Amino acid sequence: MSAAAASGAADGAPIIEARGAARTFRVSAGLFKGKHTLRAVDGVDLAIRPGEVVALVGESGCGKTTLARMLLGLLAPSSGDIRINGKPSGSLARREIARLVQPVFQDPYSSLNPRKSVGSIITLPFRAQRDPEPATWRKRVEEMMERVGLARRLYDNYPSQLSGGQRQRVAIARALINQPRLVICDEPTSALDVSVQSQILNLLEDLRRSMGLTYLLISHNLAVVEHMATRVAVMYLGRIVEEAETDALFRAPRHPYTRALLQSVLTPEPGRGVPDTGLGAAYPDPLAVPPGCRFHPRCAQAVAHCRTHAPTPIASGAGFVECHLYDASLQREMPK
């Protein structure tokens, strides 16, 4: 294997790109309280190039899954746009997007139709894409099953007869059967036991190398992210607040939120105790995004300026950070 494939080095035009993508929802604020606007994703730029494994991390409610659904073409952005292979995703048919971008979801218990057999679940994308050679479907499905570590004899079994790990292999086979370019893995191993998680992670890495895949990995498990990803985007209340190469991010996190996230990773090292992340008990609420920097209520380093002015992205190495601490022009003016 080439060094580029091993490191997942990225080159070429982005397979998929979000430009200022935003999505709002109107949600009920409670009985008789009318409607509120929820800004799930609030102006996100993200480009994923061939061979990359880009990880999207952040707490629940930060907009990871909404962004993923926009990238999959399942949800139109309220503003900004999504480009797939350089073309606006709105101009592409649903079927064309599905040909290029495929999802693997968290819970293999709910993402597979319980009334369809393994074989028909994995065959469905052929039908959806109107594959011209139905005579070869069975053979190609069986080959894909073998590739993801499922015995061919399971072809006629139903999901209820499979273990969690086997179900996730079915979901992976279904995603890969039409050889997409990008696979969006949304918490692919969170519902699995530790010993099964490692099998699925190994499989995803093997498939990436052998099929030349590109991944967007959504995960709250930063140990998994560090193991799999080449680049990491940290999301907070609808915005990407820091983006960097994986090694750089883990070695020198810049955004205070990234630092708190990394501190929260409990590595199996006895004697080190549980760290105090200094985040306080405030909880991010996408219905009431704070003014100024959206992280300031939880930030130990926040100053008055942070409460009133929203930071803009500041280039940093191969990525960027969105925090006033790194704004050189402000550092001169702000009192310490």
Binding site for other proteins (CB under 8 A): 6-8, 59-60, 163, 193-195, 197-199, 201-202, 205, 220-224, 226-230, 246, 250, 260-261, 263-277, 279-283, 285
Which residue's CB is nearer to other proteins, number 177 or number 203?
203
Nearer to other proteins, 78 or 264 (CB): 264
For residue 240, the minimal CB distance to other proteins (Å) is 17
Cβ-based nearer residue to other proteins, 222 or 325 = 222
Q: Which is nearer to other proteins, 178 or 263 (CB)?
A: 263
- Give the residue with the Cβ less far from other proteins, 195 or 329: 195
Q: How far is the CB of 222 from other proteins (least distance, A)?
A: 7
Give the shortest CB-88-to-other proteins separation in angstroms.
34
Q: How far apart are CA 33 and CA 31, in angstroms?
A: 5
Contact assessment for residue 277 and residue 259, using Cβ atoms and an 8 Å cutoff: no
Minimum distance from CB of 1 to other proteins (Å)?
Answer: 10
Nearer to other proteins, 210 or 331 (CB): 210
CB 311, min distance to other proteins, A: 20
Considering the complex, what minimum distance in angstroms separates the CB of residue 202 from other proteins?
5
Spatial separation of the C-alpha atoms in residues 177 and 141, rounded to whole Å: 7
